[in-house]
Structure 1
Amino acid sequence: MTDRPAPWEPGSGPAAAGKRHAPATERNRDAILAVLRDELPSSGLVLEVASGSGQHVVHFAATLPALDWQPSDPDPAALVSIESWRQEVGLPNVRPPLRLDASADWPMERADAILCVNMQSNSCEEVKSIGYVGCLCINMVHISKWAATQGLFRGCANLLPSGAPLILYGPYIEADVQTAPSNLAFDRSLKERNPEWGLRDVADVDALASEHGFQRTRRVEMPANNLTLIYRKA
């Protein structure tokens, strides 16, 4: 069995070559956007780690035009898809995608905002030091090895200024909250694909965050049994 989920469908439109379409993105993007409006600053550069298809970044860039967006992903095919979406929408506040793996060394010195979507695999490229303002990670923590989440917090600790948010979105397990049957089934399917994948316990994420100088400041229940967790750097 393959160790990689396939949430993609072929894209369409004038820039369809290599473009991926993830139906789940259109279902969750506005709920996530509502949280971003509260947690991200009004302006600055957002580094999106593991952008996946690229649909999230172009939607957020279109609806939050005062922010600049830097998408990235470790998967070369994803980078092609991101660039196809970027070319199609033609927004001036979306930069060309970078190849970046959160579990590896991060060359960036500082970040305003980091957005992480569907992160897997490896490799990274140099990013100029720019001054960012927060961090968002969508549907990555459960579809990657724990080392990727460790690298995400480690990288954000080095890049983000005091008070900046690291925002995680996806399904999680909580000791005092009954896990939805659909999430338990999803967890089993992930572990069948790769034993190192699976839904993470919020308590483990909180402990990792604390190790790197972050404290959880908000928990938001989202549609389809997902959560948004906001951590801020001390």
Structure 2
Amino acid sequence: MLNVAAADRNKEPILAVLRESVSVKKPLQALEISSGTGQHVAYFAQALQNIIWQPSEYEHQYLHSIEAHRAHYHLHTVKPAIHLDVSLPHQCWEGIQPESFDLVVNINMIHITTMACTEGLFKGAAAVLKPRGLLLTYGPYGVNGQITPQSNVDFDHSLRRSNPEWGLRDIALLRSIGQASGLFLEKIAEMPSNNKCLLFRRESLV
């Protein structure tokens, strides 16, 4: 069962945003894309027991960790983790059906994956979310072409040295990509350690 310090630090602030953004009473279905170690979904499931969670991950080592967290905490509202390549069309997402989720959560993925993954995230989320469903992304972002503070500038440079296709994405770019799929940036929540939560709402068909 893997644990990383960053997930322990940010799980409570992200949970606070979730509590403000989704119902804590009526039954909901949530998909977490890029669940990592499983710490987030385990924590959220214990706090928001009205939500049935579907964790997913690309890296097989993390799939085992997610299952370990699920078993350790006896999480009956968390389904078995599935392998998911977010860069592929949603039809390839392990049998996930269109318009089947109220919430999609994606934490600390966009800046450490290629643009194909970012574009796939928005296209896929738009397809699997119900009308008025919510996509929540968390991480560090650029704002109006600027990255601040210096620690985020340094982080962006280190990412691009590791892989030229990685790096902090600008919120304006993500807004544009979202709108192309029918997801509209509804709220930006400031978070600790110079991160943000971006909340995108799927447009209603009515």
- TM-score range with shorter-chain normalisation? over 0.9
Larger proportion of helix: 2
Q: Is 1:70 aligned to residue 54 of structure 2?
A: yes
Is the partner of 1:45 in helix, strand or coil? strand
CA contact (8 A) 1:33 1:60 kept: yes
The percent identity for this pair of structures is 39
Residue 190 of structure 1 deviates from its aligned partner by 0.8
Is the partner of 1:173 in helix, strand or coil? coil
Is the partner of 1:179 in helix, strand or coil? coil
Residue 168 of structure 1 deviates from its aligned partner by 1.0
Query: After TM superposition, which residue ranges in structure 1, 4 or more long, deviate above 3 angstroms?
Result: 127-130
- Aligned match of 1:34: 16
Alpha-carbon spacing, 1:162–1:129, altered in 2? closer, same or farther (3 Å): closer
- Aligned match of 2:191: 222
- Aligned match of 2:113: 144
Structure 1: unaligned runs, 5 residues or longer: 1-18, 109-123
The within-5 A match list for 1:8-157 is 19-42=1-24, 43-107=27-91, 124-127=93-96, 131-157=100-126
Structure 2: unaligned runs, 5 residues or longer: none
The within-5 A match list for 1:136-215 is 136-175=105-144, 179-215=148-184
Alpha-carbon spacing, 1:130–1:207, altered in 2? closer, same or farther (3 Å): closer
TM-score normalised by L of structure 1: 0.82
Is the partner of 1:94 in helix, strand or coil? coil
| Cα distance in 2 for residues equivalent to 1:147 and 1:68 | 28
| Cα distance in 2 for residues equivalent to 1:207 and 1:72 | 25
Look up the equivalent residue of 1:133 and give its one-letter code.
Answer: D
CA contact (8 A) 2:34 2:58 kept: yes
Is the partner of 2:70 in helix, strand or coil? helix
| Cα distance in 1 for residues equivalent to 2:144 and 2:122 | 22
Residue 160 of structure 1 deviates from its aligned partner by 1.2
CA contact (8 A) 1:41 1:133 kept: no
| Cα distance in 2 for residues equivalent to 1:193 and 1:178 | 18
Is the partner of 1:161 in helix, strand or coil? strand
| Cα distance in 1 for residues equivalent to 2:59 and 2:17 | 27
TM-score normalised by L of structure 2: 0.92
Look up the equivalent residue of 2:35 and give its one-letter code.
Answer: S
| Cα distance in 2 for residues equivalent to 1:93 and 1:28 | 22
| Cα distance in 2 for residues equivalent to 1:200 and 1:132 | 25
